[in-house]
Structure 1
Amino acid sequence: MSPAAGKPSGRIVAELGRPETPEETATREAERSRTYRAAKTFPNLVWALIFSLIAMLAIVLVVPRSNQPIERNVNVAELAQQSQVITDVPLIAPSVPAEWKANAAEARQGTDGVLEWSAGYIVPGPNGEAAEFVGFSEGIQANPTWTLERTGQRQPTGEIDHAGLHWQEYDYTDLPEKEAGNSRYALSTERDGTTFVVYGSHSPERVKELASAVADALKAPAE
């Protein structure tokens, strides 16, 4: 008989007083592996978070930044000419002061079926900072609901004659700026089935200045 003859095989389990079965060995090894992986998961998550923060900090330090808001200056007249193919109604391009920057201009058709051409301008303050926003919307065959939406869901507060046109006036300058939004003061008029709304975030003077430019564009002969 060899020296190993008669000796039990497998690991002796003290609690059982006998060698563990193959199934018990497999269960023990699986549990040890699970415990090891669980112990490694949390440190790995911590290190991943640290590396992510380091990478984010590096991007913040490397990428140049400016305290000034990003400003675009789109060519309203050019975009109006390009969009003219969708309608026979002239799309206006008001002549505004050179320092005004047009940050948006587009033609779109809403769910109500109204074809709209609009543009918005950033008006600089004394130090060149963005101080006010003014804009206009031209609604072809517009309905009262369209006009209501463009004037901030507000009712007219009066009527005025300005730049040779008669306008509905929406004077909500008594509201706080955040509440009033971009239609703190607005004017609307209608001509040949097309409604024009001019609006602004701050002063009536700037809105009336744009309204004068809109009126001039309407009086100009079609090219």
Structure 2
Amino acid sequence: MQEKTSPGTDPAEPGRAAGGTPPADQPVVKPVIPAAAAKRANASVIGMIVALVVSIGAFLPVILMNPLPKTDGFRPDINVSAVSRNAADVAGFTPAAPDTGGGFRPNYARWESGSGSGVPTWEVGYITPKEAFIGLVQTRQSNPTWLLQQTKSAPVTGTRDAGGHSWELRDAGKGEKSMILEYRGTTVILTGTAQLDEFTVLAAAVVKSMDSNPGATVSPSASPAP
């Protein structure tokens, strides 16, 4: 006679249920970290904290000795009047140094010899109160080709009164515009992205500056031949 067993039951594993799942009353074994290993882990964490505190302590005096600037950014200290006076001898006229009462911030002022264009120019850049830009260019040797280059071939769209004079307005409708005035032997061009009201303020200051200085002199090379 052969002994019959129930299908799916392994007599060699009496403690395991038919589906291979251990009985519910079997205890669950949790891993235990040895005391020495736990001590080493805690020491590593403490060491990291100490190193971080030491690093902060080392860099903190450097940061305190070099405080962050309180301004909104770098603002060059450009004395337009001083640069204008220095350029007067070579220019043959006293370049315009408009006084806007601090509303317009100059970010450059220079005399360009005109080695590339053939037209020597006085150039000043201004940041307007509304954070736009207007560039001033002044010369006594203007010509039609150079004028088109300075205004990016923008068409004449009208005039604008400023400082008691009528300035020619050129606007291509692409953001930049120009105001042009021929006065006291020189040609002045204001070009930028600012609104016309800011152009007008700067243009009036330019005329006032030009009125307070001698006009352009005629260079020997420009004198007519006898």
TM-score band w.r.t. shorter chain:
0.5 to 0.7
| Residue aligning to 2:125 | 120
The equivalences for 1:1-223 within 5 A come to 68-110=72-114, 111-125=116-130, 131-172=131-172, 174-175=173-174, 180=175, 184-222=176-214
User: In 1, distance between residues paired with 2:203 and 2:211?
Assistant: 12
Greater share of residues in strand: 1
Change (3 A) 1:113 1:157: same
CA RMSD of superposed structures (Å): 2.7
User: In 2, distance between residues paired with 1:206 and 1:102?
Assistant: 14
Aligned length: 151
Q: Note the residue ranges of structure 1 that are not aligned, 5 or more in a row.
A: 1-61, 126-130
Change (3 A) 1:73 1:123: farther
**Superposition TM-score, scaled by structure 2 size:** 0.58
Q: Give the SS at the match of 1:202.
A: coil
Q: Give the SS at the match of 1:157.
A: strand
User: In 1, distance between residues paired with 2:68 and 2:149?
Assistant: 36
Q: Note the residue ranges of structure 2 that are not aligned, 5 or more in a row.
A: 1-62, 216-226
**Superposition TM-score, scaled by structure 1 size:** 0.59
Q: Give aligned-pair identity as a percent.
A: 26
Q: CA deviation at 1:195?
A: 0.9
Q: Give the SS at the match of 1:158.
A: strand
Change (3 A) 1:197 1:90: same
| Mapped contact 2:93–2:214 kept (Cα < 8 A) | no
Q: CA deviation at 1:192?
A: 4.3
The amino acid that maps onto 2:154 is R
| Mapped contact 1:94–1:217 kept (Cα < 8 A) | yes
Q: CA deviation at 1:103?
A: 0.3
User: In 1, distance between residues paired with 2:200 and 2:146?
Assistant: 21
User: In 2, distance between residues paired with 1:200 and 1:97?
Assistant: 20
Greater share of residues in helix: 1
Q: CA deviation at 1:89?
A: 1.8
| Mapped contact 2:88–2:95 kept (Cα < 8 A) | yes
Q: Whose radius of gyration is greater, 1 or 2?
A: 2
Change (3 A) 1:166 1:124: closer
